[in-house]
């Protein structure tokens, strides 16, 4: 074949795709329980939305966006993240004029031109959740809890939560200046890129992973010491609420996030076994984003999860992990001979309508081939119909686990199987 997927595109095929589905569903379930509503938003937006929203000094905007001119000469960018587009959509549809907060979730592909490696792709998948329209610290704790509980429901254990506050438009500039002063004094012998960063976006220097830089940062001022009274009260309230919800977290005074819109609460979920790309989710407040993109003052908070990394996290904690129970095929129909296909299809269609997951052997592969397919399907029962069964109006059920066989009247077949298998909720 002459084609391959473009470099860095993450794809999922069976059977591994079942894990991906499981990861996405776990977050959707957690969001629904907290009464977040589903949204589907634009995969591409006007480039200016991300430049103004995500921020001109962020890595995402300066070098990672998939931007192009469309045939009408418009500047377009494939979404590198969801938040700016979700907020744009909420404002465009006036949801913020109804009951607040607007609580929504969405999921799908995002695009960043990064250097591909394990856990880092150019097309990757996020689950994203946003609560727009309140400063209440309880909603900060709620969003974190929705994420926390979803990781837990997937059986993950080796993840941790890091929490920080980045202050607001009153106290952050004061801190920014103090940090800049410190960095200018200590980092003159560093590379051009870091010197430029000190001037443009000094908080990002705190994110530098190089040991030599980290050592020098040990004495750098931290935001916690510069929070204004309102931000401090907000941060303390979020921390107290997390304690009340029994969500363990680590204070991370040097946690800064890669996108420029963050204010106050910021957080990250890290996984212990994923190496360099350990961030399995992250988020925070963006109280100024609405105004940045031309909307009214409207605070908001949310987070996004990298679903690709959740799949890797599940596999690292449970090597060989496969589909969750409750998704595989339960019954596999086997036509014995050419002319019983219709009988088998009728039977499995009745089963499906009753909520049983059923498949059958298609084509002409003979009994041996069909039984092999039945075994491969992972089904609990094979339902065989041949000339003999048809003339007696029965179905031969074979338990694929212990090999026992049962002749069941055709009219009772669905009920017989459902009694033994249960149905999907």
Residues 6 or more apart from 97 whose CB is under 8 A from it?
none
Look-up of token digits 């952050």: 172
Determine, following the binding rule CB under 6 A, whether residue 258 of this chain makes contact with ligand HAM.
yes
Determine, following the binding rule CB under 6 A, whether residue 302 of this chain makes contact with ligand HAM.
yes
Number of residues that bind ligand HAM (CB under 6 A): 27
Min dist CB 67 to ligand HAM, Å, is: 16
- Choose between 287 and 359: whose C-beta lies nearer to ligand HAM: 287
**DSSP-assigned letter for residue 169:** T
DSSP letters for 199-217: HH-GGGGGG---HHHHHHH
| Distance of alpha carbon 281 from alpha carbon 258, whole angstroms | 12
Q: Which helix (H) or strand (E) holds 275?
A: none
Structure tokens at 60: 């995402």
Sole binder of ligand HAM in the list 88, 264, 309, 396 (CB under 6 A): 309
Determine, following the binding rule CB under 6 A, whether residue 271 of this chain makes contact with ligand HAM.
no
Min dist CB 135 to ligand HAM, Å, is: 15
Pick the piece of the chain touching ligand HAM (CB under 6 A) from 17-25, 115-123, 170-178, 242-250.
115-123
Sole binder of ligand HAM in the list 36, 105, 124, 148 (CB under 6 A): 124
* C-alpha dihedral, 404 to 407 to 413 to 415, nearest 10°: -70
Pick the piece of the chain touching ligand HAM (CB under 6 A) from 101-109, 116-124, 156-164, 197-205.
116-124
- Choose between 205 and 374: whose C-beta lies nearer to ligand HAM: 205
**Site pattern 71..90 for ligand HAM (x: CB under 6 A):** ----------xxx-------
Alpha carbon distances (Å) from 185 to 85, 178, 222, 321: 39, 11, 16, 51
- Choose between 300 and 335: whose C-beta lies nearer to ligand HAM: 300
Determine, following the binding rule CB under 6 A, whether residue 45 of this chain makes contact with ligand HAM.
no
Determine, following the binding rule CB under 6 A, whether residue 303 of this chain makes contact with ligand HAM.
yes
Q: Are strands 331-335 and 358-360 parallel, antiparallel or unpaired?
A: parallel
Sole binder of ligand HAM in the list 101, 281, 299, 333 (CB under 6 A): 281
* C-alpha dihedral, 415 to 416 to 420 to 424, nearest 10°: -30
The CB-nearest residue to ligand HAM is 306
Look-up of token digits 């459902």: 418
- Choose between 88 and 398: whose C-beta lies nearer to ligand HAM: 88
- Choose between 180 and 277: whose C-beta lies nearer to ligand HAM: 277
Min dist CB 14 to ligand HAM, Å, is: 21
Q: Max CA-CA distance within the chain?
A: 92
- Choose between 107 and 126: whose C-beta lies nearer to ligand HAM: 126
Min dist CB 421 to ligand HAM, Å, is: 37
Residue 112 phi, psi (nearest 5): -140, 135
Distance of CA 72 to the CA centre of its chain: 33
| Distance of alpha carbon 101 from alpha carbon 142, whole angstroms | 12
Min dist CB 77 to ligand HAM, Å, is: 14
* Number of Cβ atoms within 10 Å of the Cβ of 199: 11
| Distance of alpha carbon 296 from alpha carbon 36, whole angstroms | 22
Determine, following the binding rule CB under 6 A, whether residue 121 of this chain makes contact with ligand HAM.
yes
Measured at the CA of 163, the angle between CA 158 and CA 166, to 5 degrees, comes to 150
- Choose between 280 and 356: whose C-beta lies nearer to ligand HAM: 280
Min dist CB 41 to ligand HAM, Å, is: 12
Pick the piece of the chain touching ligand HAM (CB under 6 A) from 117-125, 154-162, 209-217, 247-255.
117-125
- Choose between 282 and 333: whose C-beta lies nearer to ligand HAM: 282
| Distance of alpha carbon 291 from alpha carbon 187, whole angstroms | 34
Count Cβ atoms within 10 A of the Cβ of residue 50 and give its class: 0-12 exposed, 13-18 middle, 19 or more buried.
buried
At 421, is the secondary structure helix, strand, or coil?
Answer: helix
- Choose between 205 and 334: whose C-beta lies nearer to ligand HAM: 205
Pick the piece of the chain touching ligand HAM (CB under 6 A) from 227-235, 297-305, 320-328, 349-357.
297-305
| Distance of alpha carbon 357 from alpha carbon 331, whole angstroms | 7
- Name the site residues for ligand HAM (rule: CB under 6 A): 81-83, 112, 114, 119-121, 124, 126, 128, 130, 258-259, 279-284, 286, 302-304, 306, 308-309
């Amino acid at each position: 074949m002459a084609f391959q997927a473009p470099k860095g595109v993450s794809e999922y095929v069976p059977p591994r795709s079942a894990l991906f589905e499981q990861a996405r569903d776990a977050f959707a379930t957690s969001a629904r329980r907290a009464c977040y509503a589903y949204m589907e938003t634009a995969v591409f937006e006007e480039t200016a939305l991300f430049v103004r929203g995500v921020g001109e000094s962020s890595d995402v905007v300066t070098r990672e966006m998939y931007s192009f001119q469309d045939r009408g000469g418009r500047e377009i960018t494939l979404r590198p993240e969801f938040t700016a587009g979700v907020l744009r959509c909420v404002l465009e549809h006036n949801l913020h004029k109804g009951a607040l907060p607007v609580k929504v979730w969405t999921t799908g592909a995002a695009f960043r031109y990064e250097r591909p490696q394990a856990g880092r792709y150019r097309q990757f998948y996020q689950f994203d959740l946003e609560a727009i329209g309140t400063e209440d610290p309880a909603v900060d704790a709620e969003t974190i809890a929705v994420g926390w509980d979803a990781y837990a429901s997937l059986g993950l254990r080796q993840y941790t939560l890091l929490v920080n506050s980045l202050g607001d438009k009153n106290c952050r500039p004061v801190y920014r200046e103090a940090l800049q002063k410190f960095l200018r004094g200590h980092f003159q012998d560093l590379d051009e890129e870091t010197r430029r960063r000190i001037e443009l976006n000094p908080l990002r220097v705190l994110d530098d992973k190089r040991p030599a830089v980290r050592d020098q940062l040990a004495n750098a001022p931290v935001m916690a010491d510069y929070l204004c009274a309102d931000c401090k009260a907000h941060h303390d309230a979020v921390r107290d609420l997390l304690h009340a919800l029994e969500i363990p977290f680590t204070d991370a005074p040097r946690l800064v996030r890669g996108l420029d819109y963050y204010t106050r609460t910021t957080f990250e979920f890290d996984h212990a076994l994923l190496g360099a790309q350990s961030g399995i989710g992250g988020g925070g407040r963006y109280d100024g984003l609405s105004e940045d993109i031309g909307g009214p003052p409207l605070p908001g908070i949310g987070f996004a999860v990298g679903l690709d990394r959740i799949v890797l996290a599940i596999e690292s904690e449970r090597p060989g992990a496969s589909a969750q129970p409750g998704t595989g095929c339960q019954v596999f129909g086997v036509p014995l001979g050419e002319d019983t296909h219709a009988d088998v299809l009728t039977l499995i269609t009745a089963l499906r309508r009753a909520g049983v997951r059923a498949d059958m052997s298609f084509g002409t592969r003979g009994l041996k081939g069909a039984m092999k397919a039945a075994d491969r399907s992972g089904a609990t029962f094979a339902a065989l119909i041949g000339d003999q069964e048809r003339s007696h109006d029965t179905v031969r059920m074979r338990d694929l686990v212990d090999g026992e066989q049962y002749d069941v009247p055709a009219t009772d077949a669905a009920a017989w199987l459902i009694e033994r298998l249960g149905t999907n909720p």
